[in-house]
Structure 1
Amino acid sequence: MQFTYSNPTRLHFGQGQIAAIASEIPKDKKVLVIYGGGSIKRNGVYDQVVAALSEHQWQEFAGVEPNPTKETLDKAVAIVKQDDIEFILAVGGGSVIDGSKYVAAAAHYEGDGWDIMTGQYSVKSAVPIGAILTLPATGSESNSGAVITKKETATKLPFRSPEVQPRFAVMDPDVMKTLPERQLINGIVDAWVHTCEQYITMPVGAKVQDGYAETLLKTLLEIGQNFDNRDNDTWRANLMWSANQALNGLIGTGVPQDWATHMIGHELTALWHVDHGRSLAIVQPWLLRNQIEAKRAKLEQMGRNVFGLEAGDDLAERTIEAIEVFYHSLNVDTQFADHGLTHEEAVNTVVKQLDEHGMTALGESQAVTLERSREILEKALA
């Protein structure tokens, strides 16, 4: 293993921590608070933000969608440029935080912000960001990545830059109390697949990364199995922390990473607005079956250490079945039929999108070619 690892985001975890933003953001900075559909005004988070920013000069931008769009975010970019905003506070889940990262980077660029997503522009600086997490799922509050959708072309692309790593993040599990069941389930699945993308690859002897990934998976499995007990401080705290640790860079440091499930899943979201977490559950089991020989050793390790399955020649196959059973126990489908197209049309549409977006050799070994993606989609799209 050879790697450089740093996570500079300062985390304030626990009840009542929103007040910490008062000292985290310099009082002489002009602040833009970015949030989504307004749930923060119903659950008390907005009032806590207002109180914490009582000595700051600030304004707000609302309306960031789930799977944030360039079209909406560019309006916030214009505000940042016009009003000389010096600090961005993202208040929401992964979509709001991802969107704020785009705004922060695009505001320091004179061209079209989409150039960041296509790689035509490399981010050199960005407006500083802080985050208040309201929905545990993506880990965006303490990583440098974001995924943005261009509504006009149904294109969903990721970008990554250390310049948009949040300076601090507040994680108060109390904010989860009013979340709908569907969003909590999506968060469990999202964190689960994030962990798998960095774990179900090939053995490289990284004992700590493997062991921590397995601990996260066992924790998420237990959280899902105890979903009926979700109105519980310990349950909420463990989900929020697990989702953060799944994608803060630690378990993926020094090991191969996959992410093919995400790249294919992004197309389902962009085309048919499938919830991000649910798009991953639709793709992952079929991708694992398609790539089972390359992933057999790690699947067997997962079967033993996460699910407690007995040894046998079919252990890898039974591990994939156990993953599917876990999703189904949460009422999450592992096939998608609501695309409104014939099966052949739906598969061809996604493959065409993958080709246009350069997703032609995915996975830790670049083995998921367009042909392999087609085979996966033949099973995933009902």
Structure 2
Amino acid sequence: MQFTYVNPTVIHFGQGQIQSISNSVESSQKVLVIYGGGSIKKNGVYDQVTEALKNHSWVEFSGVEANPTKETLDKAVAIVKEQAIDFIIAVGGGSVIDGSKYVAAAAKYDGDGWDILQGKHQITEATPIGAILTLPATGSESNMGAVITRKETQEKLPFMHPAVQPKFAVMDPDVMKSLPERQLVNGLVDAWVHVCEQYITMPTNAMVQEGYAETLLKNLLVLGKQYDERDNDEWRANLMWTANQALNGLIGTGVPQDWATHMIGHEFTALWHVDHARSLAIVQPSLLRNQIEVKRGKLEQMGKNVFCLEAGSDLAERTISAIEDFYHSLDVATEFSDYEADKPTAIDRIISQLESHGFVQLGENQAITIEKTREILESAVQ
């Protein structure tokens, strides 16, 4: 292990913490509050934000989609530029926070913000942002990554830069009380796959990273089993904190990472608007079976330490089945059939998208070629 690790995001965790933003942003700074479809006006979050910012000059921008689009976000970019915004506060889940990161970076660039996603523009600065998390899933509230969709071309691409990492994150589990069931389940699945992408690679003997990853996976298993008892403060708090720790940079530090499931899954979302988490559940089991030999050691370790399965020559295979059973227990599908035309055409569309983005060698070993991806999709798409 050789690494440099820092996470500069200040976390304000617990009930009533939204009020902390009054001291987290200087009163002299003009603030843009970005949020989604307006649910924060129904669950009391908007009122709490308004109260906390009563001594600040601020404006708002709403309408950020579940998969934030460049087309919508560019309208917020214009506001930041035209109104000389000093600070952005994202109020929402991963989509709103990701979108706000795009706005923060694009607002400091004179060209088309999509250049950032295509690698044509290297970020040097961004408008500072903070986050008020309302949906635990992505960990975006305390990391430097974002994923943005371009509706016009049906593309979904990621970018990362330290300049867009939130300065602070407010995490109040109470805001989860009004979440739809589908979003709660998505949060469990998304956090699960985030851990897996950093864990199911090869044995590393990185005791902290591997041990902590296994703890997070066991947390999510328990939360899944206790899903019918989810209406309590402890369940909400544990999901919110576990999802954050799944992708705040710690468990992936100094160890191999995969992310092929995400790169392939993004195309399901871009093409057919599949929920992000559910696209991951569609891809992952088929990918693991396709790559089982190179991942066998880690799958066996996961089977033993996370699922408490008995040793045996087929332990890796049983571990993949256990992962699939976890998704099914949450009523999340692991195959996809909701496409137009026919299966070969659907697969060809995904492959074409991946090739256009240069994603032709994926995984921790860059061994998932387009041919391997096609094999994975033959199994995942029905």
Cα RMSD for the two superposed structures: 0.4
Tell me the distance in 2 between the aligned counterparts of 1:181 and 1:345: 33
Find the residue that maps to 2:258 and give its secondary structure. Answer: coil
Paired position in structure 2 for 1:189: 189
Paired position in structure 1 for 2:92: 92
The answer as to 2:375 corresponding to 1:363 is no
Runs of at least 4 residues of structure 1 off by over 3 A? none
Structure 1 residue ranges without an equivalent (≥5): none
- 1:165-205 per-residue CA deviation (whole Å, 9 max, x = no partner) reads 00000000000000011000000000000000000000111
Paired position in structure 1 for 2:252: 252
- 1:122-181 per-residue CA deviation (whole Å, 9 max, x = no partner) reads 110000000000000000000000000000000000000000000000000000000011
Paired position in structure 1 for 2:169: 169
Measure how far apart 1:341 and its partner are.
2.4
Equivalent residue runs for 1:212-231 within 5 Å: 212-231=212-231
Paired position in structure 2 for 1:133: 133
Paired position in structure 2 for 1:117: 117
Paired position in structure 2 for 1:238: 238
- 1:326-376 per-residue CA deviation (whole Å, 9 max, x = no partner) reads 000000000010112211111111011110111100000001110000000
Paired position in structure 1 for 2:8: 8
Identical aligned residues as a percent: 73
Find the residue that maps to 1:256 and give its secondary structure. Answer: coil
Specify the code of the residue in structure 2 equivalent to 1:354.
Answer: L
The answer as to 2:276 corresponding to 1:273 is no
Tell me the distance in 2 between the aligned counterparts of 1:108 and 1:76: 13
Paired position in structure 1 for 2:291: 291
Specify the code of the residue in structure 1 equivalent to 2:10.
Answer: R
Tell me the distance in 2 between the aligned counterparts of 1:269 and 1:345: 16
Paired position in structure 1 for 2:372: 372
Find the residue that maps to 1:359 and give its secondary structure. Answer: coil
- 1:280-332 per-residue CA deviation (whole Å, 9 max, x = no partner) reads 00000000000000000000000000000000000000000000000000000
- 1:18-46 per-residue CA deviation (whole Å, 9 max, x = no partner) reads 00000000000000000000000000000
The answer as to 2:56 corresponding to 1:59 is no
How many residues of Structure 1 are paired with residues of Structure 2 in the alignment?
382
The answer as to 2:328 corresponding to 1:328 is yes
- 1:47-96 per-residue CA deviation (whole Å, 9 max, x = no partner) reads 00000000000000000001100000000000000000000000000000
Tell me the distance in 1 between the aligned counterparts of 2:45 and 2:272: 31
Structure 2 residue ranges without an equivalent (≥5): none
Specify the code of the residue in structure 1 equivalent to 2:282.
Answer: I
Find the residue that maps to 1:152 and give its secondary structure. Answer: coil
Find the residue that maps to 1:43 and give its secondary structure. Answer: coil
Tell me the distance in 2 between the aligned counterparts of 1:259 and 1:162: 19
Paired position in structure 1 for 2:69: 69
Specify the code of the residue in structure 2 equivalent to 1:69.
Answer: T
Equivalent residue runs for 1:9-24 within 5 Å: 9-24=9-24
- 1:203-237 per-residue CA deviation (whole Å, 9 max, x = no partner) reads 11101100000000000000011100110100000
Find the residue that maps to 1:18 and give its secondary structure. Answer: helix
Specify the code of the residue in structure 2 equivalent to 1:21.
Answer: I
Tell me the distance in 2 between the aligned counterparts of 1:356 and 1:222: 40
Tell me the distance in 2 between the aligned counterparts of 1:229 and 1:103: 38
TM-score (normalised: structure 2): 1.00
Find the residue that maps to 1:31 and give its secondary structure. Answer: strand
Tell me the distance in 1 between the aligned counterparts of 2:82 and 2:377: 45
Tell me the distance in 1 between the aligned counterparts of 2:341 and 2:14: 46
Find the residue that maps to 1:108 and give its secondary structure. Answer: coil
The answer as to 2:381 corresponding to 1:381 is yes
Tell me the distance in 1 between the aligned counterparts of 2:186 and 2:71: 25
Find the residue that maps to 1:157 and give its secondary structure. Answer: strand
Find the residue that maps to 1:153 and give its secondary structure. Answer: coil
